[in-house]
Amino acid sequence: MSDKPNIASLSGRKKVVSNKKMTFMEMIYLPAIIGGFGITLSHFFKKKVTLQYPEETKPRSEIYRGMHVLKRDDEGRERCTACGLCAISCPAEAITMIAAERKEEEMNLYREEKYASMYEINMLRCIFCGLCEEACPKEAIFLTDRIVSSDLHRGDFIYGKDLLVEPVDQRIDISHRQTPEVLKFKLDKNQSHNS
Amino acid sequence: MLKVTIDNQTIEVEEGTTILQAARLIGGAVVPPAMCYYSKLKDSGGKCRTCLVKVAQGSARDPRPMPKLVASCRTPVADGMVVQNITSQEVIDTRKAIVEFLLINHPLDCPVCDQAGECDLQNLSYENGREESRFEESKRTFKVIDIGDKIQLHMNRCILCYRCVYTADQLTNKRSHGILYRGDVSEISTYIQNDITNDFSGNIIDVCPVGALTDKTFRFKNRVWFLNPMNAHRSCTKCSGKVTAWMRGDEVYRVTGRKDQFGEVEEFICNECRFEKKDKEDWVIEGPRNIKRASVISQNHYLNARKPSVIIPLENRTESLEEYAKENSNENKIS
């Protein structure tokens, strides 16, 4: 105890700075410079950590919560019925919608008698928590592994139905987000609206 | 005065009071839910069976229990009666079964229905019902009927509580609709879809515990939980003019009567107030209504919210810091 300097150090990592004289090898600096070049050179042969985004993308989890999709059912009709549960569950209040009544000739477009004539998500407000997906009673909205692209104007981040509803011929696969509980629920014949 | 004990709480009530009314006087959790009983409508009650309670002691004179559960809305109290509502497991189990019966023919189309969020059946099944349906057969279906140009009847959702029939009987001077057929095929109907033209016919929307009778002027316009219910009034020659205006911003989306804690309107309002006055200029807005914190309508509406007080920079302050804190202490209190 007596030979060590009396330093109060809680972490035990405190170092005492000494002002000792340099040796000859240290004074000519060359070994240190060559050692430094050696480290730089060794990085040429190491695995690169830089990803050439956007050509390359980092692998994401299958249940990554990215841009939303409004699903259609098997017959291509929109599932969303504009019940507003996603909007009320949204902690960022990013979702707005206007409901409308389905007309007789629109039977093949919308599944329920009510549908969303306007459905907007403000992607700048959205925190991608996935509560809208959980609240949805119609299996209509899902988060996907797609990424909301950057843009120049704030207004362009308000995504309407044109960007959110999946095209009939280009369905978006959300099967990995369907947990066993969800699939069991969908098998329930009584819930025919969950087809 | 008769002494009656409901769930270990004793109250003295006048003769002729029903168990349900006595329970409502006590208030709180002991009040049995009621889907068909409506205190403002004579003879209502006894249809839905959700208010069944156990009478553990008939009266002080005859302390035997009643053999079966009784409908509390129709059973008058007796002196020394002991009633069990939520303290009896039998009542809780029976209520669960009754909710299941009520939902047998109910389409469960809450995401589409305009009543969702303020629906008595939704609340009832949330509090007392099963998590999932066991019903496998097909449900009865009817077409949507327009009763007049302002009211729409979704017979699928009807639970046959008869409230609207009593309203039409007792509030209007000419009865124009009733119940046709019997048993599980019975349906509310107007005679060959006659128009209901009475000035107070719109009240059948308010009394309906489910979404069977809905306001056509509000159909799919908005969800109730996105609207702010405000107390409003106007001078009306036909009714008291005291209403709830459901507003969003400066827009009045719909007008209903003012409902009390048991979901009954305080005063019936006329059709002119209900359907035609959808302008903010028509109403004197008194202030927001008190909505239960548990209700979805109070979602995202913040109670006791206060704006942060402006903090004056130190150099501009004239009074001392202690005086400043004393002045602002009331403002910052969260009541």
Residue extents of the structural domains in chain B: 2-95, 120-218, 224-298
Q: What CATH code would you report for B2-95?
A: 3.10.20.740
CA distance A29 to chain B (A): 56
pLDDT in tens, A74-105: 889 999 999 999 999 999 999 999 999 999 89
How many domains would you assign to chain A?
Answer: 1
Q: Which candidate, A179, A122, A116, A143, places its Cα nearest to that of A60?
A: A143
Residue A185 has a pLDDT of: 64
Identify whether A21 is part of a domain.
no
Give yes or no for residue A21 having a pLDDT over 70: yes
The closest CB to that of B300, out of A88, A100, A193, belongs to A88
DSSP per position, A110-144:
BSSSEEEEEEEEETTT-----HHHHH-TTS-EEE-
Question: Other C-beta atoms within 10 Å of B93: how many?
Answer: 11
CB contact under 8 A, A190 and B300: no
pLDDT in tens, A111-159: 988 999 999 999 999 999 999 988 888 889 999 988 899 999 999 999 9
Rounded Cα–Cα distance for residues B113 and B120 (Å): 13
SS3 (DSSP) at A73:
coil
CB contact under 8 A, A88 and B299: yes
Identify whether A177 is part of a domain.
yes
Per-10-residue mean pLDDT, chain B, length 335: 93 93 92 93 90 93 93 93 94 94 90 91 91 84 85 90 86 74 79 67 91 92 91 91 91 92 91 91 90 82 71 69 64 41
Residue A16 has a pLDDT of: 80
The region of weakest confidence among A30-34, A173-177, B37-41, B62-66 is A173-177
Instruction: List all residues 6 or more positions away from B93 whose beta carbon is below 8 Å from its beta carbon.
Output: none
Residue B334 has a pLDDT of: 39
CA distance B319 to chain A (A): 40
Q: Return the HEC string of chain B.
A: CEEEEECCEEEEECCCCEHHHHHHHHCHHHCCCCCCCCCCCCCCCCCCCCCEEEEEECCCCCCCCCCCCEECCCCECCCCEEEECCCCHHHHHHHHHHHHHHCCCCCCCCCCCCCCCCCHHHHHHHHHCCCCCCCCCCCCCCCCEEECCCEEECHHHCCCCCHHHHHHHHHCCCCCEEEECCHHHCEEEEHHHCCCCCCCCCHHHHHCCCCCEEEHHHCCCCCHHHCEEEEEECCCCCCCCEEEEEEECCEEEEEECCECCCCCECCCCCHHHHHHCCCHHHCEEEEECCCCCCCHHHCCCCCCCCCCCCCCCHHHCCCCHHHHHHHHHCCCCCC
Residue A95, Cα to own-chain centre: how many angstroms?
17
Residue A71 has a pLDDT of: 92
CB contact under 8 A, B222 and A99: yes
Name the residue range of residue A89's domain.
Answer: 68-194
A138 touches chain B (CB under 8 A): yes
Side-chain half-sphere CA neighbours of A33 within 13 A = 5
Q: List residues bridging with B285 in a β-sheet.
A: B232
Rounded Cα–Cα distance for residues B7 and B29 (Å): 9
CATH of residue A140: 3.30.70.3270
Rounded Cα–Cα distance for residues B21 and A180 (Å): 47
Residue B100 has a pLDDT of: 93
A101 touches chain B (CB under 8 A): yes
% of chain A exceeding 90 in pLDDT: 49
Q: Does the model's pTM come out above 0.90?
A: no
At the topology level, CATH places domain B120-218 in Alpha-Beta Plaits (3.30.70)
Give yes or no for residue A5 having a pLDDT over 70: no
The closest CB to that of A189, out of B111, B136, B220, belongs to B136
Residue A48 has a pLDDT of: 87
Identify whether A51 is part of a domain.
no
Size of interface A-B (CB pairs under 8 A): 42
Identify whether A54 is part of a domain.
no
CB contact under 8 A, B112 and A81: yes
A84 CB neighbours in chain B (<8 A) are: 223, 225-226
Identify whether A122 is part of a domain.
yes
